Amino acid sequence: MIAFLLSGQLLVAAIVTGTLFAVVALGLNLVYGTMRLINIAHGELVMVGAYAAFVGFSAFGISPLLCTIGAGAITGALGAALYLGLFQKLFASPALARRLEANSLLIFFGASVIIQSLVALGFSRTARGYRYLDTVVHLGDVALTANRLASFLVSAALCIAALLFLRFSVYGLAIKALIQRREAAGIVGIDVERIQLASITLGFATAGVAGALVSMTEQITPFMGFPYTITAFIVIILGGLGNLAGGIAAGMLLGFVEVYGVALTSASMSSVLTYGVFVGVLVLRPEGLIGRSGAAP
Amino acid sequence: MNVARAAPSAALVAAMLALPFVGSEYAVAIGFELLMWIALTQSWTVLSGMTGYISLGHAVFYGLGAYFVVLTYGTVPLWLSLPLAGLLNLLFATAVSLPVLRVRGPYFVILTFGLSELVKYVVLAVEAALGEFGRMVFGVPGVIALYWIMLALAVAATVLVELVRRTRFGQGLLAIREEETAAEAMGIPVVRYKMLAYGLSAIIPGMVGGVMALRTTYFEPQAAFDPIVSFTILTMAIIGGSDDARGPVLGTAFLTLLSELLWARAPEIYLIILGVALIAFVLLLPQGICGWLFPPRRPAT
């Protein structure tokens, strides 16, 4: 048992899981950070991305790795449509904008139920899956399936790209500015509306990409989303709002907790661990996501 | 309460009392559903309607009540186990309320949801460790007997909301909803009031869960702690409006009828309509059907 716990096998599993968590949280961080929208439907976007890849591969034979692009495009378009159709109008009215943070949670909750039901209607409630790149690869004494390795490489690339984007691109800096001080960002000449549109599109798109990656290694169901929402919230509460490097570290930490926790107990404890950490984190940091940046909501 | 307001309530209670004598089995079943949701939604109002701390996790009380009643069924008589289920929930809610209620606003909402799911998975793990995968209950009371209990719970929950609203305590809760910091500065014991509201809102849902376990003669954690219960309560209260005891009744009636029409045939369509209704009311009619039908008379300021 001890040897198993110290083996590279679990370490690699934890890193792979953690990187995926970091990608899932990335999108939520963008959407919450720039607009203070509590996207409780974030996990449903992961689910939609997973189904997009499932359809792309099993109906059209497109490689799931290529499907990640299509999945990201679908959820990204959804985000853009939602912003242009609804949130832009809500931001425009001061009375509605004031209550938007609280209301956005209810709106997204309604949206998550709608998305789940639509997918359940279209694909039934049965769990789906497909086999792709399921040959075992050996890295030293660690064995893992090729799809897991591929999923890890894409996630890691996305994390690095996001870090570079936010650090060096003008748009990335504008997004960061918006996350740190909304009002000030407008004053210094940032086109707030455009950045918000870009953030929600990118945020939703990364969730879709993550979903396509998940579908390569896991069974998918219309109700798989919520644990991802919870995971993403834990990651950004722990990592700090708008802090991508912190988010990646927190994603890793959560990956370790989950993989080693399950290894020490049993697979049925996985949900207990996820929700337990979530409740614990919120109780210990009751100020929620805003605490560390010190900015007023 | 003036006559104009008391009369419809009395008429409704009379109609529900008469239902088992005149209605068909099907009508009684719908009446049962209606009473269950009224009891749950009114209880929810004591916390979430009054203080603005919106709970998306009342399924946890429902599930714990069901679990307790099923575990003790046959050893503890029902007249004792149902109140005990309520008491258990009061204790549980009070125990968790102090840390939970420090979390505010939207985080409170997702925290209640997470807490409910956490308890569900803990119960699932415990049941799995015990080798139990769903428990049957035998020799349960008839539907009509359970109907009377549910009617009593629905009336009790409604009376509870109305009573709380009339007290100093209820006014304190409303002040917390408007502006918690100001309420605290005014000398309202904010923490004690919130804890009490949380505890009070948990009692009846626990008893309802117990009755429902006997009605379905089955206990299974996934079903007893179903998040759809929490979601339905919230949607009913928002659609009906929770500033007035009539609101939850209207919201419940609306959704129960919709559910009767759709749930068995097309559960997905029902949930989609539920989601759309939630969004529409949040955006367009935040006071709910009740606030729209009976706009509150604002005192001159």
- Residue A291 is predicted with a pLDDT of 47
- Residue A288 is predicted with a pLDDT of 53
CA atoms of B245 and B146, how far apart (whole Å): 24
Q: What confidence category does residue A157 fall into, taking pLDDT thresholds of 50, 70 and 90?
A: very high
- Residue B4 is predicted with a pLDDT of 67
CA atoms of A229 and B58, how far apart (whole Å): 20
Q: What is the mean pLDDT of residues A27-39?
A: 89
- Residue B298 is predicted with a pLDDT of 59
Q: Which of A42, A89, A114 is the best mutation test for B, with the most CBs of B within 10 A?
A: A114
- Residue A141 is predicted with a pLDDT of 79
CA atoms of A202 and A35, how far apart (whole Å): 13
Question: Which DSSP symbol is given to B142?
Answer: P
- Residue A228 is predicted with a pLDDT of 92
Residues 6+ apart with CB under 8 A from B142: none
Cα distances (Å, whole numbers) of residue B199 to A272, B90, B150: 24, 5, 20
Q: What is the mean pLDDT of residues A83-98?
A: 86
Cα distances (Å, whole numbers) of residue A84 to A72, A78, A89: 18, 10, 8
- Residue A22 is predicted with a pLDDT of 92
Contact B111 A279 (CB under 8 A): yes
Instruction: Express each pLDDT in A105-137 by its tens digit.
Output: 889 999 999 999 999 999 998 999 888 888 888
Beta strands in chain A (DSSP E): 136-139, 142-145
Closest CA to A40 of A112, A89, A95, A88: A112
Which residue on chain A is closest to B280 by alpha carbon? A107
The least confident of A7-11, A152-156, B205-209 is: A7-11
Residues in chain B: 301
- Residue B249 is predicted with a pLDDT of 92
CA atoms of A196 and A87, how far apart (whole Å): 10
Burial class (CB in 10 A: 0-12, 13-18, 19+), A24: buried
Q: Does residue A297 surpass a pLDDT of 50?
A: no
Q: What is the mean pLDDT of residues A22-41?
A: 90
Q: What is the dihedral of CA B118, B124, B126, B128, to 10 degrees?
A: -150
Q: Does B121 touch chain A (CB under 8 A)?
A: yes
Q: Which residues from chain A sit within 8 angstroms of residue B107, using beta carbons?
A: 282, 286, 288-289
Q: For chain B, what is the total number of helices (H) and then of strands (E)?
A: 15, 2
| H-run or E-run covering A243 | none
Instruction: Express each pLDDT in A217-247 by its tens digit.
Output: 989 999 999 889 988 988 888 887 767 778 8
Contact A102 B278 (CB under 8 A): no
Which residue on chain B is closest to A125 by alpha carbon? B268
Give the pair of three-digit tokens for residue A199.
């953030």
Q: Does residue A294 surpass a pLDDT of 70?
A: no
Contact B278 A275 (CB under 8 A): no
Give the pair of three-digit tokens for residue A238.
């722990």
- φ, ψ for residue B218, nearest 5 deg: -150, 140
Which residue on chain A is closest to B115 by alpha carbon? A279
- Residue B289 is predicted with a pLDDT of 87
Closest CA to B61 of B99, B93, B32, B109: B93
Give the pair of three-digit tokens for residue A222.
């219309």
Decide if B281 contacts B288 (C-beta within 8 A).
Answer: yes
Q: In Å, how far is B64's CA from the nearest CA of chain A?
A: 16
Q: In Å, how far is A69's CA from the nearest CA of chain B?
A: 28
Q: Does B152 touch chain A (CB under 8 A)?
A: no
Q: Where are the domains of chain B?
A: 31-226
| Count of other CB atoms within 10 angstroms of residue B236 | 30
- φ, ψ for residue B294, nearest 5 deg: -125, 80
Mean pLDDT per 10-residue section of chain B, whose length is 301 residues: 71 89 90 95 95 93 96 92 96 93 85 93 92 87 93 96 94 92 93 95 97 93 92 91 87 89 84 91 87 71 46
Sign, CA torsion B229/B232/B234/B240:
negative
pLDDT, chain A, mean: 87
Closest CA to A109 of B95, B56, B87, B115: B56
Contact A117 B278 (CB under 8 A): no
- φ, ψ for residue B192, nearest 5 deg: -60, -45
Q: What percent of chain A has pLDDT over 90?
A: 43
Decide if B91 contacts B241 (C-beta within 8 A).
Answer: no
Which residue on chain B is closest to A271 by alpha carbon? B121
Instruction: Express each pLDDT in A269-280 by its tens digit.
Output: 888 988 898 898
Amino acid sitting at position B116: S
Q: Where are the domains of chain A?
A: 22-225
- Residue A274 is predicted with a pLDDT of 85
Closest CA to B189 of B101, B90, B299: B101
Instruction: Express each pLDDT in A56-82 by its tens digit.
Output: 999 999 999 999 999 999 999 999 999
Q: What's the Rg (C-alpha) of chain A? A: 19
Contact A113 B114 (CB under 8 A): no
- Residue B166 is predicted with a pLDDT of 92
Per DSSP, the three-state class of B241 is coil
- Residue B301 is predicted with a pLDDT of 46
What are A's interface residues with B at a Cβ cutoff of 8 A? 38, 40, 90, 96, 101-107, 109-114, 116-118, 120-121, 226, 230, 233, 268-269, 271-272, 275-276, 278-279, 282-283, 286, 288-289
Interface ipTM? 0.86
Decide if B190 contacts B174 (C-beta within 8 A).
Answer: no
Q: Does residue A103 surpass a pLDDT of 70?
A: yes
| Count of other CB atoms within 10 angstroms of residue B164 | 20
Instruction: Express each pLDDT in B28-58 by its tens digit.
Output: 999 999 999 999 999 999 999 999 999 999 9
Cα distances (Å, whole numbers) of residue B97 to A289, B89, B93, B142, B207: 21, 11, 6, 36, 19
Decide if A34 contacts A45 (C-beta within 8 A).
Answer: no
CA atoms of A108 and A209, how far apart (whole Å): 20
Sign, CA torsion A134/A136/A139/A142:
positive
